[in-house]
Amino acid sequence: MPSNLAKVREYSNHELYNLDVDRHASPLLLKATLTSKAVELGVRFDTARNDHTFDLARIFGHPTTEGAGAPFDILPESITIHLDNGDRVLVAELQKTGKQIRYKLDQNLGLVDYVHPQTREIYYKLAKKERRAIQRTLVLCFDGTANQFSHLNTNVVKFVDLLKKDDPNRQLVRRLDGNITQATDDYGAGLLSVGTNVYPGISGRVTRPIRTRADEGLAWYLHKHVMDGYKYLVETYKAGDRICILGFSRGAFTARALAGMLHCVGLLPEHNIEHIPFAYQIYEAQTHKNAPKSTATGDCEELETLIEDCHLTLGSLHSGKLINGNPSHVNSESYKRTFCTPVKVDFVGVWDTVASVGAIKTKTLPFVDYNPSIRVFRQALSLDERRANFVPSLWEHDKTITEDDPKRDLYRQDVREVWFRGEHCDIGGGAPFPLTRVKGAPFTALSNIPLRWMVQQCLECDTGIIFDHNTAETFRKCNVLEARPQPQIKDRLDEAYYRKIYQGSTALDKIDIQHEPYESMGQHSFWNLLEFWPSRRQVQTEAGTSKTYAPNLYKTRTVYRRNKSDNIFIHASVIDFFATEAGKEYVPRTTWHGYEKGELPRIDGYMKTQADWHEAAVRAMNMSWKSDPAWMDWASEVLWSPAERS
């Protein structure tokens, strides 16, 4: 939905607000009252922040107090507002001299738009017009391979719809879907060959479905998706910009791969844009057996590493190997230091990342499961998905940075993974609408719950992402987003305010979660064949992520908590659903490992504690608790002691 920000800027001040002087206030204030035209355009003040007032002391100084004067001593009753050639001018009389001074209000004051610290929407305030650099947010959103704009839109499309897109000085938004609209482009056939990802130069509407299926099966275009996002950042990034990347399914993998490439090689300057293919090859080669071991972020600050990197740049040999332009022999830290700018990724938010791309020939990339250059990471995961090629890519929580270390350019990370009811499409959207609808709520769906959760994470984590007020209001009217109270604006956490938000969100969750998960497998689906296909894929084990060639055979997902501090949660909507009549039959497919006997996953939800685990919820969970140490000691005594005595 378009916003009116550009239109607001076209109108003159007197068309948008009236001005009066509050002579009884201390200090003296100018007060603005919005015109009907301004209200129609969506201009709004937050009166709790005094957006509608302007302190005249900022112009004339503070009133005189016993020997301490101000630049001007004004008689309050002398202050008036006059028109001068259509512009408003404030006229005041000095106490000592009786001389009049004039201040051109419309030339110096105006409606200054700003991003509200709590709602992350645009508000206005009466303030001095100042030319200053505004920090921008660059938002890239990646959709899945076969997801295009349609009547079955994913949460990526809905999220993009919610974003503010008419203020490029503050926020730039780009959505990249997983479809290949043309096979030959900047990185097309004959120009680039990256590992096994070589694709033929074919194009046209007839071959597009074939190419899309080839991308699903062989990951032919993975490099293109990653480099498209990287190229966009090369062309748009300016120092101080914040980078936020979101994605769903294979688009989530692409989002995390782009963040991985930024960590590995940094960001090229625009005048070196032709280096992008080689930079990608360096990044991809970090998994290659000949690739030199990349140093951790910030380690190049150490003198020894700097000397080694400089020797490499000057032409000396690295580990006795000739480089000869082979990306698998290039040290990524050396390349980053020489050609690129190190950047951080402020936010990565993903819905159900698949662990590898390509249904038949799978492909993985480095720094996807863990990335030290991400400040905030959020992932919504499916409790009920079981297809072989939809094994989730989980964060390696044991590597999360928990303390700042500026000397090594390492900073504390905010990581959270939350599990929701539903299959893959119920988490990221795109499933057919439920056959049964709730009266008065035609847009209910399981995928609304992870969408609301992701939006709230963006608001809580200071991501810099700005939402469009008009679109957000439409989503609220359709019960896709929760209604929000007018904020009693404070730049700190306000418990009562957030309690109201979560109460509204919980009420919608209880409606949306009633729907049955969408069964993606199907009786005659292609996905059934892949359950018996011995392809290379990732699996979760107690020791960590591993690889296997064994067929999946309809195995369900597993969660391994390796440390009690791992930020792995189950969403509060699932716990609440267990307590309902419909929820009595629900048994999540996912198996949970790494918990002591009787211990349960943490609940993600405002004011939720482990005490909220009621009996029905405990019975429904598929917990693979650790063996009781006392029982193990007894078994060891019975089984081994006799043999030892003999």
Q: Is the pLDDT of residue 470 over 60?
A: yes
pLDDT score of 535: 73
Let me know if residue 194 belongs to a domain: no
564 confidence band (pLDDT: 50, 70, 90): very high
Domain containing residue 149: 135-178+221-267+341-646
| C-alpha to C-alpha distance for 210 and 145, rounded to whole angstroms | 12
| C-alpha to C-alpha distance for 21 and 207, rounded to whole angstroms | 69
Let me know if residue 290 belongs to a domain: no
Out of 61-70, 144-153, 192-201, 212-221, which region has the weakest mean confidence (pLDDT)?
Answer: 192-201
Examine the fold and report which residue of 89, 113, 128 is the final residue of a domain before the chain moves on: 128
Same domain, 111 and 143: no
Q: Is 103 helix (H, G, I), strand (E, B) or coil?
A: strand
Non-local (6+) Cβ contacts of 141 within 8 A are 156, 159, 160, 173, 174, 175, 176, 245, 246, 247, 251, 255
Rama region for 291: left / alpha / beta (φ>0; ψ in -120 to 50; rest): beta
Q: Is the pLDDT of residue 315 over 60?
A: no
The alpha carbons of the chain give a radius of gyration, in whole angstroms, of 29
198 confidence band (pLDDT: 50, 70, 90): very low
Examine the fold and report which residue of 61, 93, 128 is the final residue of a domain before the chain moves on: 128
Closest alpha carbon to 428 in 247, 572, 573, 586: 247
Same domain, 124 and 139: no
Between residues 167 and 198, the one the model is more confident about? 167
| C-alpha to C-alpha distance for 115 and 129, rounded to whole angstroms | 16
Same domain, 524 and 611: yes
User: 211-225, pLDDT tens digit by residue?
Assistant: 555 445 444 678 899
405 confidence band (pLDDT: 50, 70, 90): confident
23 confidence band (pLDDT: 50, 70, 90): confident
Average the pLDDT over 344-367 and give the result: 82
Q: Is the pLDDT of residue 310 over 80?
A: no
How far lies 65's CA from each of 23, 62, 77, 611, in Å?
18, 9, 18, 59
320 confidence band (pLDDT: 50, 70, 90): very low
| C-alpha to C-alpha distance for 294 and 284, rounded to whole angstroms | 12
Max mean pLDDT range (118-132, 221-235, 360-374):
221-235
Same domain, 481 and 530: yes
One-character DSSP codes across 333-344: HHHHHHH-B---
Let me know if residue 631 belongs to a domain: yes
pLDDT score of 66: 44
Average the pLDDT over 555-573 and give the result: 93
Q: Is the pLDDT of residue 589 over 90?
A: yes
pLDDT score of 336: 94
Same domain, 112 and 167: no
Between residues 80 and 152, the one the model is more confident about? 80
pLDDT score of 170: 94
* Domain of residue 425, CATH code: 3.40.50.1820
pLDDT score of 469: 93
186 confidence band (pLDDT: 50, 70, 90): low
Element housing 187 (H / E): none
148 confidence band (pLDDT: 50, 70, 90): low
In Å, how far from its chain's centre is CA 321?
40
Strand partners, 591: 558, 622
Q: Which amino acid does the sequence have at 130?
A: E
Max mean pLDDT range (130-144, 311-325, 400-414, 500-514):
500-514
pLDDT score of 378: 98
pLDDT score of 304: 46
Q: Is the pLDDT of residue 137 over 70?
A: yes
pLDDT score of 5: 76
Same domain, 88 and 147: no
Same domain, 89 and 151: no
Do 164 and 466 meet the contact criterion of CB atoms below 8 Å apart? yes
Examine the fold and report which residue of 98, 113, 128 is the final residue of a domain before the chain moves on: 128
Q: Is the pLDDT of residue 191 over 80?
A: no
pLDDT score of 2: 46
Do 155 and 450 meet the contact criterion of CB atoms below 8 Å apart? yes
Structural domain count, the chain:
2
How far lies 214's CA from each of 121, 180, 211, 504, 552, in Å?
41, 10, 5, 44, 21
Let me know if residue 286 belongs to a domain: no
Do 601 and 574 meet the contact criterion of CB atoms below 8 Å apart? no
Between residues 393 and 294, the one the model is more confident about? 393
Same domain, 460 and 548: yes
Same domain, 121 and 144: no
Let me know if residue 208 belongs to a domain: no
pLDDT score of 133: 64
Out of 5-9, 88-92, 143-147, 212-216, which region has the weakest mean confidence (pLDDT)?
Answer: 212-216
Same domain, 391 and 504: yes
Average the pLDDT over 275-302 and give the result: 69
Do 37 and 16 meet the contact criterion of CB atoms below 8 Å apart? yes
Let me know if residue 468 belongs to a domain: yes
Same domain, 162 and 35: no
Average the pLDDT over 178-192 and give the result: 45
pLDDT score of 160: 97
pLDDT score of 179: 59
Q: Is the pLDDT of residue 260 over 60?
A: yes
Same domain, 120 and 158: no
Between residues 500 and 130, the one the model is more confident about? 500
Max mean pLDDT range (90-94, 490-494, 599-603, 628-632):
599-603
Token digits of residue 555: 């195995």
Average the pLDDT over 620-642 and give the result: 63
Out of 6-10, 96-100, 626-630, which region has the weakest mean confidence (pLDDT)?
Answer: 626-630
pLDDT score of 437: 65
pLDDT score of 271: 94
262 confidence band (pLDDT: 50, 70, 90): very high
Out of 477-481, 522-526, 573-577, which region has the weakest mean confidence (pLDDT)?
Answer: 522-526
Q: Give the relative orientation of helices 276-284 and 222-236 as an angle to the nearest 10 degrees.
A: 130
pLDDT score of 36: 95
Q: What is the mean pLDDT of the chain?
A: 81
In Å, how far from its chain's centre is CA 175?
13
pLDDT score of 123: 93
User: 412-463, pLDDT tens digit by residue?
Assistant: 999 999 999 999 999 999 888 766 666 666 788 999 999 999 999 999 999 9
Could you tell me how many residues make up the chain?
A: 646
226 confidence band (pLDDT: 50, 70, 90): very high
Q: Is the pLDDT of residue 591 over 50?
A: yes
Let me know if residue 32 belongs to a domain: yes
pLDDT score of 145: 61
Let me know if residue 548 belongs to a domain: yes
